[in-house]
Structure formats: structure tokens, C-alpha cells
């Protein structure tokens, strides 16, 4: 069974990767910031957790684009398997696509990252770099977190969590969220993301219940999402507005 839940999460800038002619978008056409981290959720028993990204040529000339995956030591869980498809589908031992995809100006090509958790729960992280074969510096990167968490565990946590609507909403200088999380949770945070999925703030929750006061005076007017993360699992996401 294939199951895919996309959560756009934190912005992680990667030095040396400069997007010039290439832009990444999700399946809904929403731009993904260069170097952003996006998370795909699934169950450890899923045959595959699939990450779909579109690579768009925003220049006025045709580009021949390859993809490279970068996995640092400890980034992927032992026993899991990851592959990717870029024109063709490649084995897990392929780190640079042998063939380039030709992308016309103002056109996109689909990339698919496939992750088999093989019943192993937890998060594996892979960076994918898309680059012009004629100019390697013309590139854009995204970090994908494949989160294989048992659905029953997530459901149990959700049933035990209290996570209030943000107030005041709209917010001017500060937004507040009341929360209660079970004692079994070791680490919890609230991540604030904008409409593009870029993380703009992250608040560590030091207690298992209380009120989180989040300063927003430095955020521009607009809609934001606040997500409760518990032990690297996305539990709930809600939204609020900044308006002055």
C-alpha cells in the first residue's frame, strides 16, 4: 500500500548551492525554496514512501539537467532502501543520474524519490541536487525527510495532545498557543512556516503543558502555519494570520 502525506517544514540553507535557472515546486505548483527541507510521512509497513518534486526551468534557454543524491553518514536508517526516478528509475547504488532530462524554458520535469522503510520506524534524510550539466553551479537543492511512523502511534499521540487555536488571531506582536503533551514525549517543538513552506521560527517546549508565547513582530503580514512536532513526528498543523 502506498501512502503519502506531505508536510512542508523547515528552511535549511545549503552553502554552495545557488539556484539561478532552476526552480522546485510541489505537486500543487507551490514553489519550494532552494535548500528547504520537506517531509513525507508514511507507515513503516508501506511498500514505498514517495517524494514527488517538479523541476522547472525559469530561464529563457533549454537546460539539460541531472540529479545527484547526497547522503551523509547516519542520515538514513540501516536496512532501508532509497531509489529515485529521473527520466529512468535507478537502483539504490546510483548517486548521480547517468542521463539528463532536457527541460525547455518555462517547462517542468517530474522527479520521484522512492523510500522503502522495510518496517523500520524513524526518519531518513536525503538531499537531492538538480544541476545543469553544462554549468554545475547552476543548481538547486532540496532535503527530503522520509518519516516512517506507525499510524497507530501518531493516532495515539493526537488523542492525548491538546493544542489550542492560536490567539489573538490575527496577531500583531505575539501569538499564544496553549498545549498539553503526554509525559512519554521526550522532545517537542512548535515550528512556524510561511505559505511557501519555509520555516521562519521554531520554539522548543520545555514543559509538557503550558502556554507558548511566540513573537511575530518581525514577520510580515500574511498567513502562517504552526505545527506541533513531538519526537520528530508531525502531530498537528493549524494556521494563524499576522496583520497590522
Confidence of residue 29 (pLDDT cuts 50, 70, 90): confident
Of residues 139, 67, 51, the one with CA closest to residue 99: 67
Residues in the chain: 244
Task: Say whether both 165 and 187 belong to one domain.
Answer: yes
Task: Tell me the residue range of the domain where 237 lies.
Answer: 151-242
CB-based contacts of 178, cutoff 8 Å, min separation 6:
162, 163, 164, 210, 211, 212
Task: Say whether both 233 and 160 belong to one domain.
Answer: yes
Task: Say whether both 172 and 143 belong to one domain.
Answer: no
Whether the CB-CB separation of 228 and 190 falls below 8 Å is answered with yes
Task: Say whether both 21 and 139 belong to one domain.
Answer: yes
**Has residue 109 got a pLDDT over 90?**
yes
Asked if omega into 208 is within 30° of 0 (cis), the reply is: no
Task: Say whether both 211 and 139 belong to one domain.
Answer: no
CATH of residue 107's domain is 2.60.40.10
Task: Say whether both 123 and 187 belong to one domain.
Answer: no
Through-space distance between the first and last CA atoms of the chain, rounded to whole angstroms: 47
Mean per-residue pLDDT over the chain, rounded:
86
Q: Rounded to an integer, what distance in angstroms lies between the CA atom of residue 136 and that of residue 92?
A: 23
Task: Say whether both 12 and 52 belong to one domain.
Answer: yes
Whether the CB-CB separation of 84 and 128 falls below 8 Å is answered with yes
Task: Say whether both 43 and 102 belong to one domain.
Answer: yes
Q: Rounded to an integer, what distance in angstroms lies between the CA atom of residue 132 and that of residue 101?
A: 10
Q: Rounded to an integer, what distance in angstroms lies between the CA atom of residue 6 and that of residue 145?
A: 10
Q: What is the pLDDT of residue 15?
A: 37
pTM above 0.85, yes or no: no
Of 148, 164, 196, the last residue of a domain is 148
Of 123, 148, 173, the last residue of a domain is 148
Task: Say whether both 62 and 173 belong to one domain.
Answer: no
pLDDT in tens, 47-70: 999 999 999 999 999 999 999 999
| Residue indicated by cell numbers 540529479 | 67
Q: What is the pLDDT of residue 138?
A: 94
Q: Which residues pair with 219 in a beta bridge?
A: none
Of residues 132, 141, 140, the one with CA closest to residue 62: 132
Indicate the number of domains in the chain.
Answer: 2
Q: What is the pLDDT of residue 13?
A: 37
C-alpha count within 13 angstroms, C-beta hemisphere, residue 149: 22
Task: Say whether both 175 and 238 belong to one domain.
Answer: yes
Whether the CB-CB separation of 177 and 164 falls below 8 Å is answered with yes
Task: Say whether both 50 and 158 belong to one domain.
Answer: no
Task: Say whether both 95 and 43 belong to one domain.
Answer: yes
Listing DSSP states for 127-155 in one string gives EEEEEETTEEEEEEEEEEEEEE--HHHHH
CATH of residue 181's domain is 2.60.40.1930
Of 148, 168, 197, the last residue of a domain is 148
Amino acid at each position: 500500500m502506498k501512502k503519502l502525506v506531505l508536510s512542508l517544514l523547515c528552511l535549511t540553507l545549503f552553502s554552495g548551492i545557488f539556484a539561478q535557472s532552476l526552480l522546485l515546486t510541489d505537486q500543487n505548483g507551490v514553489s519550494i525554496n532552494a535548500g528547504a527541507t520537506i517531509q513525507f510521512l508514511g507507515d513503516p509497513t508501506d511498500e514505498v514512501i514517495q517524494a514527488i518534486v517538479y523541476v522547472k526551468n525559469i530561464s529563457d534557454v533549454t537546460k539539460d539537467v541531472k540529479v545527484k543524491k547526497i547522503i551523509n553518514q547516519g542520515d538514513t536508517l540501516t536496512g532501508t532502501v532509497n531509489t529515485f526516478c529521473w527520466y529512468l528509475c535507478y537502483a539504490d547504488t546510483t548517486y548521480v543520474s547517468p542521463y539528463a532530462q532536457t527541460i525547455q524554458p518555462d517547462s517542468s520535469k517530474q522527479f520521484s524519490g522512492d523510500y522503502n522503510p522495510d518496517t523500520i520506524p524513524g526518519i531518513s534524510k536525503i538531499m537531492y541536487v538538480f544541476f545543469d550539466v553544462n554549468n554545475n553551479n547552476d543548481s538547486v537543492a532540496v532535503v527530503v525527510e522520509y518519516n516512517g511512523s506507525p499510524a497507530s502511534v501518531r493516532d495515539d499521540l493526537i488523542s492525548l495532545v491538546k493544542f489550542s487555536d492560536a490567539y489573538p488571531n490575527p496577531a500583531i506582536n505575539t501569538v499564544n498557543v496553549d498545549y498539553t503533551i503526554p509525559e512519554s514525549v521526550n522532545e517537542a517543538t512548535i515550528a512556524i512556516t510561511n505559505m511557501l513552506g519555509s520555516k521562519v521560527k521554531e520554539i522548543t517546549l520545555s514543559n509538557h503543558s503550558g502556554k507558548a508565547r511566540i513573537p511575530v513582530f518581525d514577520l510580515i503580514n500574511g498567513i502562517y502555519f504552526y505545527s506541533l512536532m513531538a519526537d520528530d513526528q508531525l502531530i498537528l498543523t493549524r494556521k494563524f494570520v499576522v496583520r497590522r
